Amino acid sequence: MTDKPTPDAAALAERDDQVRLLRDSVIAFAAGRLPLMRARKLRKAQPEFDPAMFAELAGQGWAGLLLPEEFGGFGLGFAEARVVIEGLSAQLAPEPLVPVAVLAAGALRRCAKSARRDELLGALAEGTSVPAVAWQNVAGSLELEQPPFTAVRAGEGWTLEGEARFVRPGSGATVYLLLASTPEGVALFAVEPGSSGLEMKTEAQADGTSLARLRATQLRVSAAAALTLKREDLAAALDEALVMNAVELLALIVRMRAMTLDYLKTRMQFGKAIGSFQSLQHRSADMLIQEELTRAVVGQAVAALDDDVPQHTRTSMASRAKARAGEAAMSTAREAIQLHGGIAVTDEYDLSLYVNRVLSLAPWLGNAQAHRRRYVRLNPPVAASEG
């Protein structure tokens, strides 16, 4: 039992209503503006999403949803962010809402106040800037102890060396936030694509989007570009991105399972619907269980973010959510393919779009295995207390 004051019931109910209203409007928007055909056509496009659509999403208030009003945001919480992200993910929108509106926004708003930071946050909320955080080193470590870049002072400004990988969005970012160690700690360095000394490569993903690999060689940046923050603040933003990534995966799970269930009811072989074969019935039941486990842990994780629980709890919840969602999404994809038979391995059947999306999103920010390990590292077994 916590001794936190319980929020009053009326306020809770009001929030629930707001979230429901928002969900309805997201679903309506997605149905009208984000048909699957659009996602299908945008595969392998350059950039990998439609900047006009990104601006439109920002116009709906969804880029700055989590940002305080002083930056042109709406100051809403993660329950609200969840319904927006679920709606877009279900329609496979490639617009990088989680990388930008959650990860980059979460990191930037925790940076020490500066003109450059405020300008970036304002532009992010407006949808005119698409920042991508380059925080992971080439080995793909989840730890922030070894940032990908090293910054040393050079005159008024800085010189950066190093290499980052797995940066989203892989194309279409208007600014990169390079995580570098500095003599004082760490900082994000805001660097425009095409800056001399910054070499960029994109690596193609299964779903037609990409990840960027960035190498800095004698990269000169101004003093103003250095946005300082604490490691734990960046960790907090990463936890938020992880939970919202789990939300994206949950939406994919829901869709794949629904498609499979429909198919089992309508596909006839041996004179009956294939859903009447018991082996397939049991596998569908197991798919349902994985979906519900995911929904349960994601629900708790979203609430933990909104309730501002202690860092350790938050990080543990984020890992739990990603571990379950990543695993369940991968297994749902496999089962959905098997239960469909041949049609599932064709490009023209929409299930393949979902499968390829799962293959791309599940490893991002660390796959299920990495997060299971992180969870038990944070929560090692302890001897049962006596008495």
Partner 1 sequence: MQKTDWNTLSDEDFRSQVRAFFHANYPEHLRYPKTRLRWVQVKDWYLTLSKQGWLAPAWPQKYGGMGLTPPKLLIFMEELELHGIGRAPDMGIVMVGPLLIQHGTEEQKAYYLPKILSGEHVWCQGDSEPNAGSDLASLRTEAVLDGDHFIVNGQKTWTSLAQDATHIFMLVRTDKKAKKQEGISFLLAETSTPGVELRPIRNLAGHEEFCETFLRDVRVPAANIVGELNRCWTIAKALLSFERIGIGGPKQSQYAMARLEELALQLGLTEDQGFMDTYARYKLDVLDHAALYERFVDQVRRGETLGSDVSMLKIVGTENYQKISQLLVETAGSAGGLVGDVDIGGESFDWLTSYYNARPATIYGGSNEIQRNILSSQVLGLPS
Ligand X SMILES: Cc1cc2nc3c(=O)[nH]c(=O)nc-3n(C[C@H](O)[C@H](O)[C@H](O)COP(=O)(O)OP(=O)(O)OC[C@H]3O[C@@H](n4cnc5c(N)ncnc54)[C@H](O)[C@@H]3O)c2cc1C
Using CB under 6 A as the criterion, which residues of the chain lie in contact with ligand X when the complex forms?
267, 269-270, 274, 277, 279-280, 338-339, 341-342, 345
DSSP sequence for 118-158: HHHHHHHHHTS--EEEE--BTT----SSS-SEEEEEETTEE
Q: Give the CB-side neighbour count of residue 386, counting CA atoms within 13 A.
A: 0
CA-based end-to-end distance of the chain = 20
Stretch that binds partner 1, among 192-200, 222-230, 243-251, 348-356 (CB under 8 A): 348-356
What residue number has its CB nearest to ligand X? 341
Run of H or E including 122: helix 115-126
Q: How many CB atoms lie within 10 A of CB 300?
A: 13
How many whole angstroms separate alpha carbon 147 and alpha carbon 173?
A: 20
Q: Which of residues 167-226 bind partner 1 (CB under 8 A)?
A: 203-207, 211
Amino acid at 354: Y
| 370: contact with partner 1 by CB under 8 A | yes
* Residue that has been written with the tokens 């800085």 in this structure: 158
If we measure between CA atoms, which residue out of 326, 44, 25, 379 comes closest to residue 207? 44
Residue 277 CB, nearest approach to partner 1 (Å):
7
Stretch that binds partner 1, among 234-242, 247-255, 331-339, 378-386 (CB under 8 A): 331-339
Q: Is 196 exposed, middle or buried (0-12, 13-18, 19+ CB in 10 A)?
A: exposed
Question: Are the C-beta atoms of residues 215 and 106 closer than 8 Å to each other?
Answer: no
**231-266 helix and 311-340 helix, angle to the nearest 10 degrees:** 20
Residue 337 CB, nearest approach to ligand X (Å):
9
Residue 268 contact partner, candidates partner 1, ligand X, none, CB within 5 to 8 A by sort of partner: partner 1
Residue 101 CB, nearest approach to partner 1 (Å):
21
Whichever of 302 and 330 has its CB closer to ligand X, that residue is 330
Whichever of 116 and 267 has its CB closer to ligand X, that residue is 267
DSSP sequence for 283-322: HHHHHHHHHHHHHHHHHHHHHHHHTT--HHHHHHHHHHHH
**Interaction pattern, residues 239-268, with partner 1; x per rule: CB under 8 A:** -----------------------------x
How many whole angstroms separate alpha carbon 152 and alpha carbon 161?
A: 9
Residue 295 CB, nearest approach to partner 1 (Å):
23
Whichever of 311 and 338 has its CB closer to partner 1, that residue is 338
Q: Which of 198, 259, 328, 344 binds partner 1 (CB under 8 A)?
A: 344
Question: Are the C-beta atoms of residues 240 and 77 closer than 8 Å to each other?
Answer: no
Whichever of 160 and 339 has its CB closer to ligand X, that residue is 339
Q: Which of 218, 369, 377, 378 binds partner 1 (CB under 8 A)?
A: 369
Q: Which of residues 90-149 bind partner 1 (CB under 8 A)?
A: 136, 140
Name the residues that contact partner 1, by CB under 8 A: 136, 140, 165-166, 203-207, 211, 268-271, 277, 279-280, 330, 334, 337-338, 341-342, 344-348, 352, 355-356, 359-370, 373
